[in-house]
Amino acid sequence: MSDGAMLFIAMIFVMVFLLTQALVIPVFGESNKTRKKLKKRLKDIELELGQQSFSSLLREKYLRDLGPWERALERLPMMESLSGLIEQAGHSFLAHRVVLLAAVLGAAGGFAAWAFSHHPIISLIAAAAAAAMPFLKITRARTRRIQTFEEQLPDAVDMMKRALRAGHPFSGAIKLVSEEMRDPLGKEFRMTFADLNYGNDVRRAMLGLLQRVPSVPVMALVTSVLVQKETGGNLAEVLGKISDVIRGRFRFERKVRTLSAEGRLSAWVLALVPLVLFAVIWFTTPDYLPTLLNDDFGQKLVAYGFISGIVGLLWIGKIIRIDV
């Protein structure tokens, strides 16, 4: 197989990868400005907490049980950020082991591609794709876990509202939710209740919840609770309104998904037509392709079409995504 054919196959792989990653993701979400505010708020939380939170104390205890080399690797700044991502995804494995797995997969993928194609660019693409797989899996697991948490949140808020109206204290409402709701929400509320029992106040416990589950609905819940604690008022009534807002947000998300289905399908069709046409020509009339793939001008045309396809995919993804 010629170098031009191998490069074209590599371009197909990149195109399909971008298609699945850019157009399968939800078309509804927070705007970039909102996400930046949330990230800034989380950084401020670390400064506001001052002392170690309950989850941080658990991590320190966990690190003390490791060997000296593993403990040293886990204390690196990049490993700490990755550990937070792994924790938000609901996993418990060590961050440095994920990095080692990515390195092994990258080396294996690059070696296999080199043995098949003997082309450096294709080997680098295969190595990068294989090394990215563990991180993509963790990112997807984190996204699914936060989405599941958000879906459970309205019922949990309603349960807290009923508990407060029945005369339970706020900590008792947190405990009730942690016992009655399934994971991941039940687990996070159990950690929040344990944080309260550990001796922290409501502010630190709720900010710790937002730190573990960085989400706009969770930020709305935490903000409403903290404002009520500082200014007073009927917390049960406030929680009822928060529950209605979160449910309305989900209804709007389902409506957006329905209205954008045609655009997403069009993107899939437009992106796959060149790939399907290439495959048909490859099997029916293979003598046509060497003229395109081995000629310098033909390779330039392929590269131009590849770049145009990527720009089109990113542009369609931007159009069909509704920022709120």
Q: Give CA–CA dist 324/321, Å, rounded.
A: 10
Q: And the tokens for 314?
A: 């990113």
Contact 5, 282 (CB under 8 A): no
Q: Using 50, 70 and 90 to split pLDDT, how confident is the model at 54?
A: very low
The reported pLDDT for the residue numbered 203 is 82
pLDDT over threshold 70, residue 62:
no
Q: What percent of the chain has pLDDT over 90?
A: 6
pLDDT over threshold 50, residue 286:
yes
Which pTM was predicted? 0.73
The reported pLDDT for the residue numbered 108 is 92
Query: According to the per-residue pLDDT averaged within each range, which of 48-62, 141-155, 276-290, 308-322 is highest?
Result: 141-155
Closest CA to 306 of 1, 3, 2, 16: 16
Q: Using 50, 70 and 90 to split pLDDT, how confident is the model at 69?
A: low
The reported pLDDT for the residue numbered 104 is 92
Closest CA to 81 of 98, 68, 65: 98
CA atoms within 13 A on the CB side of 116: 16
Determine the 3-state secondary structure of 173 from DSSP.
Answer: helix
The reported pLDDT for the residue numbered 319 is 74
pLDDT over threshold 80, residue 167:
yes
103-109 CB contacts, 8 Å cutoff, 24+ apart: 103/131, 105/130, 105/131, 105/133, 105/134, 106/130, 106/131
Question: For all residues of the chain together, what is the average pLDDT?
Answer: 77
Contact 6, 297 (CB under 8 A): no
